Amino acid sequence: MEPARRMSNTYKPANDILPKETEVVVIGGGIAGIFAAYYLAKAGVPVVVCEKGRIAGEQSSRNWGWIRKQGRDPRELPLAIESLRRWADIAPTLPDDIGFHVGGVTYLAETDADLAEHEAWLEHAKQHQLDTRLLSSAETDAMLGQDKRRFKGAMFTPSDARAEPGKAIPAVARAARAEGARILERLAVRTLETEGGRVTGVVTERGTIRCRAVLLAGGAWSRAFLENIGLSLPQLAVKASVQRTAPAPLITESAVGGHKAAIRRRQDGGYTLARSSAATFDIIPAAFTHFLAFLPILREQWRIMTLRFGRPFFDALGQRRWGADQMSPFEQMRVLDPEPDTRLLDDVLASAGDLFPQLRDARAVERWAGMIDVTPDEIPVMGPVPGREGLFVSTGYSGHGFGIGAGAGLVMAEMLRGHEPSIDISAFRMERFKEKGGVWRPKAPLPV
């Protein structure tokens, strides 16, 4: 099977001459950084994106492609609602068809406990006037083209959507460039320049760019960057494995999540298949630093977690320091490209065939893995960094970044322009992890 490292990236960079100065530098060319740059550029703000590898080379192109409101942590719901609006607005304007389609999201209820959990989440849907509803066993069968009554029912949000991650973010990058953003690939930012506690520029591997504000949107790399400048962020990375199939019969236009397998119809007629809460966690030095903060998520959310000691204990995601004149980990590993868990994916493929008979003969044609940046409460870290005037952060999306990335980019662009954010993101403040009495627990029923 062709691994993810050979997945094509359709973004074509503009002139890569290093600018001497700009208004805002965005560190990271994933969904959080690219959407922020897009909205900054549309507002006429000079912005430069520095991406150490390639645009959307990591988790932003390796995720499931779900754009959902359903099942969100209630603290994320306003951002998710706005993000779907933004996806719908921008998709028709992009230079490529990114496969954006409003087909809904469905969570299967395989037990009475599942059904009760879904019913409890409906209270959040009602508060935000969502179109989420519970399906009966018969209605669920009708949606899936079955008549076995094996499911107790399902939770269904018709207005949720999907898109193709490998196409979407490069297309938004081109749109941002058309609005005036400078987007530079293979350009790692090593550290910041400051004067009197205020950010005045970034030091890249090819020189300094002076600026008045910096947005760190480095995904799994954000913690290491912050640690190098003396800041602590309880964020760890877990590896999630995904696969796609050859074209297969249409089951439903809705993305569907079950305990053993989750499916999403693809633009090419195949399916993206994965398993929620199944991940590999490499024990690196930072894991010991933040272990207690992550105990609730390890016990409650990631039900199928493989822990291991391995090479990542010593590699770029580990814990070390470097200076502005030294090669950084970001230059040593341009793109995180972990090997997928083939045993897990074999089981997911078999489980998908069991849950959905139409997929019994489905054949996997590509498998890949990505590193998800996870926080203890599974919600992002967004906003200004305390004690570093001019530095902002947008990270820790915990596997939800593709769906809420458009809204997150809008909000961060507003803050970088000195405006009050149009959506309350106070729950995502970085300093929450240092506040006394804080309990950092996920509040979403099914993370996908």
Query: Residue 39 and residue 44: Cα distance in Å, rounded?
Result: 9
For the segment 320-334, the average pLDDT, to the nearest whole number, is: 92
**Eight-class DSSP state of 19:** P
What percent of the chain clears pLDDT 70, i.e. is strictly above it?
Answer: 84
Tell me the pLDDT band of 435, cut-offs 50, 70 and 90.
Answer: confident
| Domains in the chain with CATH codes | 18-104+159-434 (3.50.50.60), 105-158 (no CATH)
pTM over 0.85: yes
433 CB-near residues (< 8 Å, 6+ apart): 233, 234, 293, 376, 440
Is residue 257 a contact partner of residue 446, using CB atoms and an 8 Å limit? yes
Residue 146 reports pLDDT greater than 50: yes
CA 234 to chain centre: 17
Helices and strands in the chain: count of H runs, count of E runs: 12, 23
Predicted local distance difference test score (pLDDT) of residue 119:
97
Query: Residue 312 and residue 278: Cα distance in Å, rounded?
Result: 19
Q: How many CB atoms lie within 10 A of CB 29?
A: 32
Q: Half-sphere exposure of residue 134, counting CA atoms within 13 Å on the CB side?
A: 18
Predicted local distance difference test score (pLDDT) of residue 301:
54
Least confident of 32-41, 273-282, 334-343: 273-282
Tell me the pLDDT band of 446, cut-offs 50, 70 and 90.
Answer: very low
Tens digits of residue pLDDT in 196-249: 999 999 999 999 999 999 999 999 999 999 999 999 999 988 889 999 999 999
Q: Across the chain, what does the average pLDDT equal?
A: 89
For the segment 110-134, the average pLDDT, to the nearest whole number, is: 97
Predicted local distance difference test score (pLDDT) of residue 276:
86
Tens digits of residue pLDDT in 359-400: 999 999 999 999 999 898 889 999 999 999 999 999 999 999
Least confident of 163-167, 251-255, 310-314, 418-422: 310-314
For the segment 46-56, the average pLDDT, to the nearest whole number, is: 97
